[in-house]
């Protein structure tokens, strides 16, 4: 893929996105033969799960398109998230996030040479950054800050003040990470639009923004008390993966809000394209003595699903096997790294008692994007995956 | 005054104040024979004038009572005040404030040995301070921040976000300046009450708060286009001082909202007590061939004023002479200091053109406490003097 031209690079950058703000900024950089610098932020609060493959595959595409990618591990944000986790725990989780995300990208087969991890704490306490926070706060009205955060920050009279501060920080991160582009979920749209307005107020350049659609969760369904079932850990045993996907919600013929089908669309097809140069998804029909179904794009898959040719009973095991295959190198890397194993124990210490276990679970759920959860009050960074909602 | 006991020290600390929050904190420190550490903040935006004598005399009393006084020159706040003044200008003004305030205190005859000036920029950009800003913002609700700033911050949907941030900063300043007490105008009451609630959230100690009443301006009257007339500069020529006070509003027999009488109460009587050990205010009646009126407290002055024994025609020249006398050492100090003179030129450069002059004037008016002026949007620190209001 090293010989892609500007148009091909741009096509790969924007594949599967819902929207791009100020695309001319990216096109201009590509036209000059330079590499766009893209930043994505995530807060190390819960534990990354398979839903993280959605942004990870986009990031892998950015890397494959020759972009410089910065992943901001927003540890200060994580620490401030209700101050529930002590700062040391957050630092271990930050490390765990870095191990995990790097392994996910390597699992997709892209080089992570141009990938940079930055801890929020490494610059968000610097005098230059702080003066910019103070300055922007004196240039942006309460109304505009509120509007910018409307879809990412839980807003009420009793919400913490930090909710109004975070859009300010997230916009300044673009400048202080020296990036041209920020990537996030469509729920960040208002914040991204605000960035376009606010950067020039400080004499900084406008940024482009890449917006991922909200992708339904892999396992679907309501959030239940047996919450463990609704998430698939990145280091989950193959059999558990198969079992969880077998139980996943995927109504026959229904393409909308179908987490299993969406996972094929936003993760499995693009991941196979990154690995082999062409998207491909195979569905075995051996049990019925038929030839496998082989797909190269989501349209044909959706068509067959609507017509019940690709039934949930056929789709689910195929997605499970593809996912198990995608996860295999991550598990191998984890098993080979003593450091990563040790970090995991420190970042997610096993609960001591039955009673404490419940508390631990609550925390595990507060990963970036879980804004629908009632407990999540702070504006964590979106990973572009919709969570099952409790009703 | 070095041999004051705890009760005498406390009496001097609270003289003329409207209210004290958590006085037991101060009493406890005095009972242990220690020196209360008091902080007062001011933002170097406009140019200090004679109204600054009101807080200065209180600060002189704190010093005379053996307190350690810290004056925060809030230069970052000054700079952020609509970003109208470049940062270099604000730095010069900070220096000018320091020269002026020190000279005012020396003019009252107190030792400024235990007086410390601190620039906001010297610590408000430090990592420790910033983490506390982030933390407190995640612990304090928008509602509570708004409530705390209600009387010092201009609040509307379109007000800058910094208005909500400033109560946070002002409360944290108490901790980071390591003070036991904050001094300010009664309009800061809600913010001071918030401090009592917020400090423990961060594991910090509660502070006491000393509240000065709102004292009517010396010259009184409406703010007019000939605004220069409504303020008396600290370096004003004696004849101009006399002329301005002669024109000042002071209705006969009316004690309420009488700036000239209040100046005697809150500045001249306590200043004479600091200098001579006993409050005294003399009113010459030589012109009428009568003995002078000599007062040792404000009550008798007010009584005589109500009964028109102390007429405005008698009071005004007496106040003018006392003020001229109070200012004399400041002018002498200014004339003796080349550095101060140079700083003044840099801090308040003479307007180049007629057109620019007007702009300059606007800025000069935005001194701490001028919150009634429509241009003042940011929560500058109160000096305890009411400004004449435009209607």
d(CA A172, CA A182): 11
CA distance B283 to chain A (A): 49
pLDDT at residue A221, rounded to an integer? 63
CA distance A158 to chain B (A): 5
Start-end of CATH 3.40.50.620 domains in chain B: 4-210
Give mean pLDDT, residues A318-345: 97
- Confidence class for position A46, pLDDT limits 50, 70, 90: confident
pLDDT at residue A318, rounded to an integer? 97
| Chain-chain contact of A160 with B143 (C-beta, under 8 angstroms) | no
- Confidence class for position A222, pLDDT limits 50, 70, 90: low
Start-end of CATH 1.10.240.10 domains in chain B: 236-345
Decide: A228 and A49 in contact? Cβ < 8 Å.
Answer: no
- Confidence class for position A256, pLDDT limits 50, 70, 90: very high
d(CA B101, CA B59): 10
pLDDT at residue B354, rounded to an integer? 56
Decide: B161 and A137 in contact? Cβ < 8 Å.
Answer: yes
Give mean pLDDT, residues A189-202: 97
Q: How far is CA A163 from CA A156, A167, A197, B141, B292, in A?
A: 10, 8, 19, 9, 64
Chain B CB contacts of A141 below 8 Å = 157-161
Fill in the DSSP letter of residue A82.
Answer: T
pLDDT at residue A352, rounded to an integer? 75
- Confidence class for position A326, pLDDT limits 50, 70, 90: very high
pLDDT at residue A261, rounded to an integer? 97
pLDDT at residue A118, rounded to an integer? 98
pLDDT at A172 over 60: yes
CA distance B158 to chain A (A): 5
Decide: B245 and B321 in contact? Cβ < 8 Å.
Answer: no
| Chain-chain contact of B139 with A83 (C-beta, under 8 angstroms) | yes
Give mean pLDDT, residues A216-235: 75
Chain A CB contacts of B138 below 8 Å = 80-83, 160-162, 378
Decide: B243 and B258 in contact? Cβ < 8 Å.
Answer: no
More confident residue, A259 or B228: A259
Give mean pLDDT, residues A61-73: 98
| Chain-chain contact of B135 with A80 (C-beta, under 8 angstroms) | yes
pLDDT at residue A351, rounded to an integer? 82
CA angle B358, B121, B88 (to 5 degrees): 40
pLDDT at B92 over 70: yes
pLDDT at A374 over 80: no
| Chain-chain contact of B165 with A165 (C-beta, under 8 angstroms) | yes
CA distance A155 to chain B (A): 9
d(CA B51, CA B384): 8
Closest CA to A290 of A304, A269, A273: A304
Q: Which of A127, A142, A147 best probes binding to B when mutated, by most B CB atoms within 10 angstroms?
A: A142
pLDDT at B360 over 70: no
Q: Between B127, B157, B378, which is nearest A143 by CB?
A: B157
pLDDT at A153 over 60: yes
pLDDT at A250 over 70: yes
Give mean pLDDT, residues A70-96: 87
Closest CA to A130 of B122, B126, B293: B126
Give mean pLDDT, residues B339-354: 88
| Chain-chain contact of A130 with B135 (C-beta, under 8 angstroms) | no
Decide: A25 and A10 in contact? Cβ < 8 Å.
Answer: no
Range of weakest confidence among A290-299, B5-14, B214-223 = B214-223
Which residue of chain B comes nearest to A131, CA vs CA? B125
pLDDT at residue B371, rounded to an integer? 34
Whole-number mean pLDDT of chain A? 88
- Confidence class for position A138, pLDDT limits 50, 70, 90: very high
pLDDT at residue B325, rounded to an integer? 97
A179-192 in b/e form (b: 16+ CB < 10 A) is bbbbbbbbbbbbbb
Q: Between A125, A140, A159, which is nearest B161 by CB?
A: A140
Range of weakest confidence among A328-342, A344-358, B21-35 = A344-358
Closest CA to A155 of A147, B162, A133: A147
pLDDT at A166 over 70: yes
d(CA A323, CA A318): 9
Decide: A81 and A366 in contact? Cβ < 8 Å.
Answer: yes
Chain B CB contacts of A159 below 8 Å = 141-142
pLDDT at B221 over 80: no
The correct CATH number of A236-345 out of 3.40.50.1980, 1.20.1090.10, 1.10.240.10, 1.10.238.10 is 1.10.240.10
Give mean pLDDT, residues B292-318: 97
Chain B CB contacts of A139 below 8 Å = 83, 160
Range of weakest confidence among A28-37, B44-53, B100-109, B357-366 = B357-366
Q: Partners of A49 in the beta sheet? A: A233
Q: Between A80, A125, A137, which is nearest B162 by CB?
A: A137
Work out the number of other CB atoms within 10 angstroms of the CB of residue B336.
9
Give mean pLDDT, residues A240-252: 94
Chain B CB contacts of A164 below 8 Å = 142, 161, 164
Backbone angles phi, psi at A179, to 5 degrees: -110, 155
- CATH fold of B4-210: Rossmann fold (3.40.50)
| Chain-chain contact of B137 with A161 (C-beta, under 8 angstroms) | yes
pLDDT at residue A386, rounded to an integer? 54
pLDDT at residue A350, rounded to an integer? 87
pLDDT at A380 over 80: no
pLDDT at residue A367, rounded to an integer? 29
Whole-number mean pLDDT of chain B? 88
Give mean pLDDT, residues B266-280: 97
pLDDT at residue A340, rounded to an integer? 97
Name the region of B82 (left: φ>0; alpha: ψ -120 to 50; beta: rest).
Answer: left
pLDDT at residue B358, rounded to an integer? 42
Work out the number of other CB atoms within 10 angstroms of the CB of residue A217.
27
pLDDT tens across B130-169, in order?
A: 999 999 999 999 999 999 988 877 777 788 999 899 899 9
Give mean pLDDT, residues A138-142: 93
Work out the number of other CB atoms within 10 angstroms of the CB of residue B298.
21
pLDDT at residue A154, rounded to an integer? 75
pTM listed for this prediction: 0.88
pLDDT at A316 over 50: yes
State the ipTM, two decimals: 0.88
pLDDT at A391 over 90: no
């Amino acid at each position: 893929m090293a010989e892609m031209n500007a148009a091909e690079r741009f096509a790969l950058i924007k594949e599967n996105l819902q929207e791009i703000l100020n695309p001319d900024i990216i096109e201009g950089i590509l036209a000059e033969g330079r590499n766009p610098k893209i930043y994505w932020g995530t807060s190390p609060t819960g534990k990354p799960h398979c839903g993280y493959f959605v942004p990870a595959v986009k990031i892998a595409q950015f890397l494959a398109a020759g972009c410089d990618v910065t992943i901001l591990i927003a540890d200060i944000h994580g620490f401030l998230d209700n101050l529930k986790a002590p700062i040391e725990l957050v630092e271990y989780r930050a490390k765990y996030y870095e191990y995990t995300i790097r392994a996910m990208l390597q699992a997709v087969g892209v080089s992570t040479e141009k990938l940079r991890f930055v801890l929020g704490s490494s610059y968000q306490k610097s005098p230059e950054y702080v003066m910019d926070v103070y300055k922007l706060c004196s240039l942006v009205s309460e109304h505009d800050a509120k509007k910018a955060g409307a879809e990412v920050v839980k807003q009420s009279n009793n919400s913490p003040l930090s909710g109004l501060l975070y859009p300010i920080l997230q916009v300044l991160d673009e400048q202080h990470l020296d990036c041209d582009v920020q990537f996030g979920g469509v729920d960040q749209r208002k914040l991204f639009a605000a960035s376009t307005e606010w950067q020039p107020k400080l004499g900084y350049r406008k940024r482009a923004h890449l917006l991922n659609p909200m992708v339904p969760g892999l396992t679907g369904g309501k959030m239940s008390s047996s919450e463990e079932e609704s998430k698939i850990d990145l280091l989950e045993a193959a059999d558990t993966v198969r079992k969880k996907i077998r139980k996943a919600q995927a109504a026959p013929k229904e393409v909308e809000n179908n987490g299993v089908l969406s996972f094929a669309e936003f993760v499995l097809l693009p991941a196979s394209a990154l690995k082999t140069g062409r998207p491909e998804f195979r569905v075995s029909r051996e049990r019925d003595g038929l030839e496998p179904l082989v797909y190269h794009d989501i349209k044909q898959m959706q068509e067959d699903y609507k017509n019940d040719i690709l039934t949930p009973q056929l789709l689910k095991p195929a997605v499970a096997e593809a996912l198990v295959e995608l996860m295999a190198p991550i598990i191998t890397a984890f098993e080979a790294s003593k450091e990563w194993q040790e970090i995991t124990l420190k970042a997610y210490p096993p609960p001591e008692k039955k009673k404490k276990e419940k508390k631990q679970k609550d925390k595990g759920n507060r990963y970036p994007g879980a804004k629908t959860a009632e407990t999540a009050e702070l504006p964590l960074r979106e990973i572009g995956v919709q969570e099952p909602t409790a009703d």
